[in-house]
Amino acid sequence: MNIRIEGLNKIYPGGHKALNDLSFNIEPGMFGLLGPNGAGKTTLMRIMTLLQTASSGTIYFDNYDIRKDRKVIRSILGYLPQDFRFFEKFKTWEFLDYGAGLAGIKGIKHRKEAVDAMLHKVGLFEVRDRWAGKLSGGMKRRLGIAQAIIGDPKVIIVDEPTTGLDPEERIRFRNILSQISGDDVIIILSTHIVGDISSTCKKLALLNRGELKFEGTPDDMVGLAEGKVWEVFIPDEEFKDIKEKYPIISTIPANGGWDIQIVAEEPGGSNWKSIPPNIEHAYVYFMDYLLNDKMEMYANQGAHNELFA
Amino acid sequence: MNTHNINTIARYEAKLLKRGWLFRVFAVLILLVMTVNLLNSSTNVFWEMNAYWKNVALTSSIPFMATRLYALAQAIIVIFLAGNIIKRDKKLDTAEVLYVRPMSNADYIIGKVWGIMRVFIGMNVIVLAEGLLINVLLSRSPVNVWYYLIYIFTISLPSLLFILGLSFSVMTLVKNQAVTFIIMLGVAATATFYLSDKLYGVLDFFGGEIPSLFSDVTGHSNLEVYLWQRGIYYLLATGFILLTIAAVNRLPLKPWKTKILACGSVIFICLGLLAAYGYVHHFENKIKKREMLKAVYEKVADIPKASIFSNKLLVKQEKDVLFVESKLKLVNRHHDKLDKLVLFLNPSLTLNGVKCEGKEVSFEREAQSIIIDKSIVLKDSVELTLTYSGKIDEDICYLDIENDAYFKKPEGEVIFYGKRYVYQTDKYMLLTPECIWYPMAENPVNPAVPYDINKDFTYYTLNYILRDTNKQQVVISQGEEIHRGDTVQYINHIPLTGISLTVGNYEKLSIIVDSLSYELYLFRGHDYFTKHFNLIKDTLPAIIRTMQEVVDNKRIYPFARFAMVETPIHFTSYTRNWKGYTELIMPEIAFLSEKGVVGISSDFKSESMRKKQWGSRNATMEDDEVQVQVFKDFVTWTFINETRGTSDWQADAQLNKLDIGGMLFAHSGFLYSQDFPLANIVVNMMQSANPTQTEVWRRMWTNTSALTDDIKANIYLSKHSFREAMVDKDLKPKVFYELLKLKTFELKNYLLSYISAQELTEFLKEFSEQYLFSEYPFAEFTNAFKQKHNIDLTPFLKEWYIKNKTPLILVKDVDAKMVLKDEFTKYKIRFLIYNPSPVNAIVTVKADASGNNRGGRPGGGMGGNSGAATTDPHYYQIPAQTAMEIKIIQDDRPSSLTINTNIAQNLPNTLPYTFTRIDAETTDTTTGAVVVDTLLFRQDADELIIDDEDKGFHIIKANNKHALKDFFKKEDEDKYKVMNYWRPHSVWTPFFNNRGYGTPVSSMVYKKKGVGKNRVEWRANIAQSGYYELSIWNPRLENQGGRRGGGWGRGGGGNPQTQTYTITYGESKDVISLDLQQGDKGWVALGDFYLPEGETVISLGDNVSWDFAVADAVKITRLGKRK
């Protein structure tokens, strides 16, 4: 499976350009979609999931065009939206059964086996008869991914899946995603939690203001910030100036001041110690220095396209 | 479309629906309401006499009622839930995980629809299963599961789909749940309450107001049309669902399919509309056809017709096709030769040939008319043989009935069973003369002038060849029944106005009483009632004899047989005053509705229980006595009473379609007259009808016109003659019927002013028996009357027929005194009466004897009768511009006197007077009517009276705000309304009442209590200043209309009825309050005033102490130089 995005544009009524001539490929495996709020990630995913149309350009799933081959594309898709809630009057297993049914799993017995297997996989078998609305936040998210992956889709798109989860649930969730990323499955993970990307994704793309700003491996991105991340002790009286001058990655209180990590092109003093960058440092360096964008993006408004809007 | 996807969506949509609290509440409520309703309407669970016969008699009744009610409740829920379902999709991202699935939009919407339908069908099945259970276990109604299924598919499902599709579409377009809800509720309510009977019921999407009930014998009245109408809603529903699919804001699998769906939606909606148009067109076509058939009658209306002396019919039926040979003997009873012969035959029967003495005769055929090229010289006769075959065209029937009445549900019926006038199927046949199934010489109807029809008395012989394939065929017709091999023969030894033919699977019950054969033909298995009369089998002849005597009091029953034949529920007839009978009453045969469902209640079980309960309050009623009473009541209400009750509280009583008077009069003789075309009906009515008494109690519930049909007829006659009325197409049939009665009683009262009622009855009986079963000229009647009573009716009749004015009656000085006559104390009533109009009047005077007799018997010791009794009425002619003094002496002390002005300008036309005390005595023992000076009625020159009908009376409204309903007011709405004590009108409203002042209309105005802003004013122009006494007319309304002033309502309770009058004169203003509860009706003085020259205004506001203010007349009496 291969996804080809070709010259994709999306202009909303009112003129806001959410996607601007976007073109890149996605290979099998976990793919991270990174970008600040309003970068166009959700619009891109909604177009990929056929919830809305592009103004121009297209996306190919192998050779299937989203403009023409919707049935085939939908049959290989699994989707977990960001703001995913439940019909409260469904039980956990029913929700999966409903999804399994629509994913084309026929026969009560087959469906039951698939549902039970999936419940085991996501650790919800024990609560299979609980009302979906009564599950905890982490469980709900697991149920969400379960419904997205039931029926063995070839492309799974998950939007901000770990937001609001405790570390344990986040790790659990990442593991589930890792388990399912097989040879020919594409998992597109949209997030602004860059840590999720570094630990799971083989490749990533960074969007900003609807444009592709980076495409490559997490290591490539980290490499861009090599020698640009510094650790330094700053006394209390200088902290304010430094904060205004540089993007600060972390601050740890120390005796009479702060041990901080800073992203900067050059060291600001002799006591600045260069440290190896990680993906988070790279993301900040990329946004602040390469794109010169402080991430003060406006929210992507009006992107929701409802059934009976 | 993918059925797997649809089923998956449907399964979970249904789950969601069922788990919603809203649905659960609705579902429980529906089940509760349905259960209570079914138990209440079709069983005796709540009350032993509860089950209304109409609801249980037919097999299809319970399934129909259950489905109809369920469909209505279901629609409300669906309207509410449909918006909710779509709103749910809008709210949650959950839907998006479904939208990315590979189902099509059609799968999705159809899945949703199917899911909802599954739930509602499930509920429907539960409700109907409950109905079935009640039907089987608790109800008397027969059971047939088939009807339950039929109604699911013809009532419940199409209405569910339609309302669902429309709701989805509206929600999709409007995008607001609340607005959608309001729109849909509005659509449902409008279609149900206002439009369901418009355009032949095409807008009735529930299918509850179009004919839907099935006869146990013949099935649906018109299944094709019924299914067609229901099909409209299937088509529209499909269109709306397709529209919803096309409009769904989810990317379609194939974009071009959206266009296809949109086109499909348009096509289906157009097909639905086309079907609706076709449905309406079907009826409009019938109207056109009826017009065409009427025109055919008119074409040959002026051609003199021969009379059919005899008609020998040989009838054979193959499947549903008739083969008939008719041998006619035609006679020329005219004064001239008939050049051509005109006959009528049902237009769709194919006339194969006409032969005269074995030779073919040429003829022209146009629809029902046949013009035969054959002449008959004066008094001669000719024999013709007509052979014809085919199927009867029902549309020929009742051309003289207005289209509205022809197509709509019969007035007074709650359920529209459907209408059939002819049955011609393989298994059942019912033909009456209305459908012209055999050749007729006189047109059975005259649509142009309905009252101008003639009758033929013909000797009929019917030979019906039985089909040996059906051994259970019973053939019923008029005459003596003889079976000859495979032929059933009916020979008539007397000439009849027409014959019917009924062939079906009947069982016969019969009894002969005094050589008269009583026969009852029931559909096999329909004998549900004999068990209710098991105790009176032996006494039945005696009971029948007593009932026969009641009939014979009107006229001796003229036939040798009285057969009652059960007909399918849809068999319908109309009351046609000009015919004097309905098609349900044929010579010898009365057609009863299936299980007695239509018309009089035939619920003998409940009737027996009711009788028993009521009887037990006073004395124990034995079971056999109960059965006798029930039997007598049934016979009386079914055949003897002129009117029948109706289940519709808003409607007036209906004329009894089974009134046996038709057999006694209309089918037994015919008076014809060129000068008075209605003579026959008038003479018949004189013997059969009773004067109309306006049912005030019924009208108390209606906030409608006070002008009943009899009053309207009376008003009509003040400007039109009887002759004009006859051809006035704008005159409604019911009003004409009352007019006919008024004119009949005018003639009868005239005769009774010369001879006694007994003498008149005897004369009419003797006369009609002399001319039994024949046509005879009206002159015979007037001659006979002159011969017997030496009174020439001709001058009266001429005026009676053409006068276009009505008299006015004024009455005064009514009193009653004791008088000693023949050594007995008797009572003398005296009054003055004046007819100032240029036309003569006849009044009916009736005194009620209270029974408190203080001496009217020898020695005065007999005591009183218990209860009031009415003495025989007196009839007085009051010539034009003549005043009379009328004196009546009677034995019993009168409690009241009623003067009925009959046809007159007076409103109301009954003037009641009560005598509370009779202490005065008189020695004048003369009685009768003597002319007195009209000056006795001259108005006092010193009096000025301003009545509410006069110019000086004004209504002053507080504002000119209009309620929405005002826009829907009919312009020709009647002025006078019924006064409503419970809910008085909120604007000054005129009504008339005997307690009011004024002639010819004793009217007043009243209004609901207010704050004084709305008022009335009497304005008088005082020509000369001086002292005047001002009085107002107090109608003293407290005892009227059932609401007793001291008792019932908020205004009662012994409260004073204080009204405040303001008198404005010159610069002065006086305010005077009066309690109208003081004194009796009449003038009450406001006081004496010195009024200057110029305008004096007396005003009354609506700020009164009672529930309503009332204003009538004001009197200003000049006091001369007294002060």
Interface probe for A, chosen from B3, B4, B8 (most Cβ of A below 10 Å), is B8
Tokens of B538: 């032996």
Would you say residue B266 has pLDDT above 90? yes
- The DSSP H or E segment spanning A214 is strand A211-216
The pTM score is: 0.79
Nearest residue of B to residue A73 by CA position? B102
Question: What is the per-residue pLDDT for A40?
Answer: 87
Tell me the nearest-neighbour CA distance from A157 into chain B, angstroms.
Answer: 11
Q: Per-residue pLDDT for B93 more than 80?
A: no
Q: Does B9 touch chain A (CB under 8 A)?
A: yes
Per CB-CB distance under 8 Å, the chain A contacts of B93 are 81-85
Structure confidence by residue, pLDDT tens digits, B4-41: 889 999 998 898 888 888 888 888 988 898 888 888 88
Question: Above 90 in pLDDT, residue B971?
Answer: no
Residue in B5, B86, B96, B249 to test binding to A, most A beta-carbons within 10 Å:
B96
Q: Using 50, 70 and 90 to split pLDDT, how confident is the model at A298?
A: very low
- Write down the pLDDT at residue B424: 93
More confident residue, B532 or B476: B476
Q: What is the mean pLDDT of chain B?
A: 84
| Residues of B in Cβ contact (< 8 Å) with A307 | 86, 89-90, 95, 99, 248-250
Strand B589-593 relative to strand B561-567, pairing:
parallel
pLDDT surpassing 90 at residue B268: yes
Question: Ranked by mean pLDDT, which of A287-291, B46-50, B586-590, B704-708 comes out on top?
Answer: B586-590
Residue B1098 has pLDDT above 70, yes or no: yes
Region B143-158: mean pLDDT is 90
- Residue A252 forms beta bridges with which residues? A259
Search chain A and give the residue with CA nearest B244.
A308
Lowest mean pLDDT of A239-248, B585-594, B1009-1018, name the range: A239-248
CA distance linking residue B592 with residue B521, whole number of Å: 10
Q: Which of A248-262, B305-319, B615-629 has the lowest mean pLDDT?
A: B615-629
Q: How far is A31 from chain B (nearest CA, A)?
A: 20
Write out pLDDT tens, residues B912-946: 888 888 888 888 888 889 999 998 888 888 889 99
The residue-averaged pLDDT of B434-449 equals 86
Three-state SS at B610: helix
Residues 6+ apart with CB under 8 A from A177: A30, A145, A158, A161, A187, A189, A200
* Among B747, B626, B700, residue whose Cα is nearest residue B982: B700
pLDDT at B315: 94
Backbone angles phi, psi at A163, to 5 degrees: -60, 130
Q: Which residues contact B577 (CB under 8 A, 6 or more apart)?
A: B451, B681, B733, B736, B737, B740
- pLDDT value of residue B468: 65
State the angle between helix axes of B223-247 and B255-299 in degrees (0 to 180), rounded to the nearest 10.
150
Which of B8, B20, B88 has the CB atom closest to A102's CB atom? Answer: B8
A233 shares contact with chain B (CB less than 8 Å) = no
Please indicate whether, in this complex, the C-beta atoms of B93 and A82 are within 8 angstroms of each other. yes
Residue B647 has pLDDT above 60, yes or no: no
**How much is the pLDDT for B862?**
32
Mean pLDDT of B1108-1122: 85
Facing residue for B100 by CB, picked from A77, A94, A144:
A77
CB neighbour class for B475 (10 Å; exposed up to 12, middle 13-18, buried from 19): buried
The answer to whether A212 contacts chain B (CB < 8 Å) is: no
Ranges B175-184, B727-736, B1078-1087, most confident: B1078-1087
- Could you say which residues from 169 to 188 on chain A have a Cβ atom under 8 Å away from some Cβ of chain B? none
Question: Cα B103 to the chain's mean position, in Å?
Answer: 58
Q: For strand B882-890 and strand B894-900, is the pairing parallel, antiparallel, or unpaired? A: unpaired
Instruction: Give the closest of B90, B92, B97 to A99, CB-based.
Output: B97
Confidence of residue B405 (pLDDT cuts 50, 70, 90): confident
Asked if B102 is an interface residue toward chain A (Cβ–Cβ < 8 A), one would say: yes
Closest-CA distance of chain A to residue B367, Å:
59
List, in sequence order, the alpha helices (H) in B142-222.
Answer: 145-151, 157-174, 177-189
Instruction: Tell how strand B921-922 and strand B810-821 pair up.
Output: parallel
Does the CA dihedral B293-B295-B300-B302 come out positive or negative?
positive
pLDDT tens profile B654-688: 677 888 888 888 888 888 887 888 888 888 888 77
Mean pLDDT score, A234-244: 83
Contacts of B89 in chain A (CB under 8 A): 306-308
pLDDT of the residue at B762? 87
Could you say which of A82, A148, A308 has the minimum Cβ distance to residue B249? Answer: A308
Please indicate if any CB of chain B lies within 8 Å of the CB of A42. Answer: no
Please write the tens of the pLDDT for every residue from A51-104: 889 999 999 998 899 888 888 898 888 888 877 776 677 888 998 899 899 888
| B97 shares contact with chain A (CB less than 8 Å) | yes
User: Is B319 buried (19+), middle (13-18) or exposed (0-12) by CB count in 10 A?
Assistant: exposed
pLDDT digits (tens, 9 = 90+) for B542-574: 888 888 887 777 778 889 899 999 999 999 988
Residue of chain B minimizing CA distance to A99: B98
Nearest Cα to Cα of residue B1001 among B1020, B976, B972, B974 = B976
Which residues in chain B have their CB less than 8 angstroms from residue A86's CB? 92, 94
More confident residue, A278 or B554: A278
Longest dimension (CA), chain A: 71
Asked if B422 and B570 count as a contact pair (C-beta separation under 8 A), the reply is no
User: Percent of chain B, pLDDT > 90?
Assistant: 33
User: CA B847, CA A290: separation in Å to the nearest integer?
Assistant: 118
Contact: A308, B172; criterion CB under 8 Å: yes
Q: Which two tokens stand for residue B560?
A: 């040798």
Is the pLDDT higher at A289 or at B776?
B776
Does the pLDDT value for residue B235 go beyond 90? Answer: yes
Query: Given an 8 Å threshold on Cβ–Cβ distance, is B90 in contact with A148?
Result: no
Q: Residue B1048's pLDDT band (boundaries 50, 70, 90)?
A: very low
Looking at mean pLDDT, say which of B251-265, B418-432, B819-833 comes out highest.
B418-432
Taking residues B505-522, report their average pLDDT: 90
Helix (H/G/I), strand (E/B), else coil: B736? helix
How many Cβ pairs within 8 Å bridge chains A and B?
A: 108
A32 touches A162 (CB < 8 A): no
Q: What is the pLDDT of residue A262?
A: 86
Q: Is the pLDDT of residue B308 over 90?
A: yes
Residue B968 has pLDDT above 60, yes or no: no
B616 has pLDDT over 60: no
Convert the pLDDT of each residue in A178-207 to its tens digit.
777 766 788 898 877 777 777 778 888 888
pLDDT of residue B750: 92
Test mutation, B15, B97, B174, B175, chain A, max A CBs within 10 A: B97
B528 and B595 Cβ atoms separated by less than 8 Å: yes
Outline where B665-819 has alpha helix (H): 679-688, 696-699, 709-717, 722-727, 733-752, 757-770, 778-789, 794-802
Predicted confidence (pLDDT) at residue B512 exceeds the cutoff of 60? yes
Nearest alpha-carbon partner for B561 in B523, B590, B582: B590
Query: Does pLDDT of B489 surpass 90?
Result: yes
Q: Which of B387-396, B460-469, B857-866 has the lowest mean pLDDT?
A: B857-866
pLDDT over threshold 90, residue B287: yes
Considering only CB atoms, B16 lies closest to which of A80, A87, A102, namely A87
What's the rounded Cα separation, in Å, for the pair B909 and B989?
20
The interface residues of chain B toward chain A in range 132-171, judged by CB-CB distance below 8 A, are 171
State the Cα–Cα distance between residues A115 and A119, nearest whole angstrom: 6
**Hey, which residues 52-91 in chain A have their CB within 8 Å of chain B?**
52-53, 70-72, 74-75, 77-87, 89-90
Instruction: Decide if A70 and B253 are in contact by the 8 Å CB cutoff.
Output: yes
Q: Which helix (H) or strand (E) holds A236?
A: helix A236-245
B730 touches chain A (CB under 8 A): no
Task: Specify whether the backbone of B974 is left (phi greater than 0), alpha (psi in -120 to 50) or beta.
Answer: beta
Query: pLDDT exceeding 70 applies to what percent of chain A?
Result: 92
Give which of B503, B499, B524, B501 is closest to B428, Cα–Cα.
B503
Candidate ranges B179-193, B862-876, B1086-1100; pick with highest mean pLDDT: B1086-1100
The three-state DSSP-derived secondary structure of B859-913 is: HHCCCCCCCCEECCCEEEEECCCEEEEEEEEECCCEEEEEEECCCCCCECCEEEE
Cα gap B167→B238, rounded to integer Å: 13
Check CB contact under 8 Å for A102 and B5: yes
In this structure, are residues B849 and B833 in contact, taking their beta carbons and an 8 Å threshold?
no
pLDDT digits (tens, 9 = 90+) for A279-289: 888 888 888 77
State whether residue B372 is helix, strand or coil: strand
For chain B positions 171-190, those within 8 Å of chain A (CB to CB) are 171-172, 175
Which of the residue ranges A229-243, B610-624, B891-905 would you say has the lowest mean pLDDT? B610-624
pLDDT value, residue B1114: 94
Provide the chain B residues 246-265 that lie in CB contact (below 8 A) with chain A.
Answer: 247-254
